[in-house]
Amino acid sequence: MTKTALTLLAANCLVTMPAVAQRTTIRATAIPTAVTLDGKLDEPFWATADSIDDFRQREPLEGFAATERTVVKVVHDGNALYIAVRCCDSSMRVGGPASSAGMPTSRLTTMSEF
């Protein structure tokens, strides 16, 4: 192969390869009040807690940007570490698999938290 052909081949690989995994850091925010474990993130400190949302998918295209948004937030008090995960699912339907698993579907939305 010529030098030009190798350069073009290398450039093509860089464009088509998934992004290289990067380390992401999240800081656990200290909170002054207790967390209510009710599945809601309505305490004021959740709005300002450090978060990460730049996840990459494993399947079907490993390393590519996630097709559904996921946000992770972390806080702590003097006794515990709390991790909140908001997972979005554009294909979720009320009355689908969750209802057959015994989960209450009346509160499920396309953006659920745990």
Return the ∠ at Cα 65 (arms to 81 and 67), rounded to 5°. 85
Predicted TM-score (pTM) of the model is: 0.60
Q: pLDDT at residue 112 above 90? A: no
Return the ∠ at Cα 93 (arms to 92 and 95), rounded to 5°. 135
Q: What is the pLDDT of residues 15-53, one digit of tens each?
A: 444 555 567 889 999 999 889 999 899 999 999 999 999
Q: What is the pLDDT of residues 45-100, one digit of tens each?
A: 999 999 999 988 888 889 899 889 999 999 999 999 999 999 888 887 665 555 55
pLDDT for residue 1: 47
